[in-house]
Amino acid sequence: MKRFEHFNAKTIDEAILLLEKYDGEAKVIAGGTDLIRVLKDDILPKYPKAIINLKTIANLEYIKEENGVLKIGSLTRLSDVASSSLIKTKYNLLSEACRSVGTPQIRNMGTIGGNLCQDVQCWYYRASKSLGKVFHCLRKGGNVCYAVSGDNRFHSIFGGKGCVAVCPSDVAIALTALDALVKTKGPLGERVFPVSELYKDAALNLGRSEIVTEIQVPEPPPEARQIWIKFRLRNSLDFAIVSVAVMLTLEEGVCKDVRIALGGVAPTPKRLKEVEDFLKGNYINSETAEKAGKMAVAKAFPLSHNAYKIPITESLVKRVILMAKDHRTLT
């Protein structure tokens, strides 16, 4: 790592002021499980001049329910979200997604806000100076996405505006299916908006000095069935090759409401609106589930190395719907 200034922010406002002062040349740190890698690998076009520690800010680590809304402070650790009995009971999708992140050590350090705001995993973007080769790609201000013409087996099958890296956050996928909101604070004050709007074109859609402060999840109907599947090489710590989050409400076998989000396949969390519309009002059985799987990938256009994600996505969407119907959990 190179040299940088380090600040322990006491309040969000102080952190915002510092971000303003450094005008794009500072980074905030919480658990640091991603940022430290970014700094060690020295992949940012400009090495940050300052690191602003958010862990010293009081009252940003909480899990509470208020008026039918679950509120999680952005500094809450993934392990705490995963093990919260409140979340396990009512928002199990989120609990499972958090549990599938990284390793126990990473979950003990990593925060929910940090998981949402982590940088992409594209191996061209992440190629480090320690290796010798750095790819000056689109994300770094270059002209080319090296993944498009290179080895893109972990990249998007639903295109992208230039960069074809996928959204790396498991939490974002689960929160998308839960219709959650994020609350942020910046120089212009606070705002609250859907998690799905936090991302744009494989990047965070935040102002330069804006910080995520809270996640808000509306309480799902008690009869809603929530399933999370994360497909990866190792069950221990890999990023998702494909992940699926589903929330399904049935009424006598008929789909009353459904929300499905895909991860690992697109630059942002991908809601399957068309599939949802198809399922609503239909009986959920192996036929409709299979059709849903097919619809989910109908518009996929794979790159040279990632066509294998299509059958995987198709199969997982089908499974997740049937698992939700049968009240089965992960096997």
Which chain residues interact with another protein by CB under 8 A? Answer: 1-3, 40-42, 103, 123-124, 127-135, 146, 149-151, 153, 231, 233-239, 241, 302, 304-305, 307-312, 314-316
Closest C-alpha among 91, 63, 98 to residue 218: 91
Nearer to another protein, 11 or 105 (CB): 105
Report the residue number, 123 or 278, with the smaller CB distance to another protein.
123
State in angstroms the smallest separation of the CB of 30 from another protein: 19
Instruction: Tell me the closest approach of the beta carbon of residue 210 to another protein, in angstroms.
Output: 28
Closest CB to another protein among 64 and 299? 299
Nearest distance from residue 21's CB to another protein, in Å?
A: 22
Name the pairing type of β-strands 225-231 and 63-66: unpaired
Distance CA 195, CA 180 (A): 6
Closer Cβ to another protein, 89 or 103, answer by number: 103
CB of 229 to another protein, least distance (A): 10
Among 20, 19, 222, 37, residue whose Cα is nearest residue 119: 37
- Contact of 246 with 258, CB cutoff 8 Å: yes
- Residue 245 and residue 258: Cα distance in Å, rounded? 11
Q: What is the nearest approach in angstroms of another protein to the Cβ of residue 231?
A: 6
**Residue of 178, 157, 156 lying closest to 261 (CA atoms):** 178
Nearer to another protein, 151 or 179 (CB): 151
DSSP E strands in 232-288: the ranges are 242-251, 254-263, 270-271
Between 32 and 150, CB nearer to another protein: 150
CB 94 within 8 A of CB 175: yes
Positive or negative, the Cα torsion across 164, 170, 172, 178? positive
Q: In the bound complex, what is the minimum distance in angstroms from residue 38's beta carbon to another protein?
A: 12
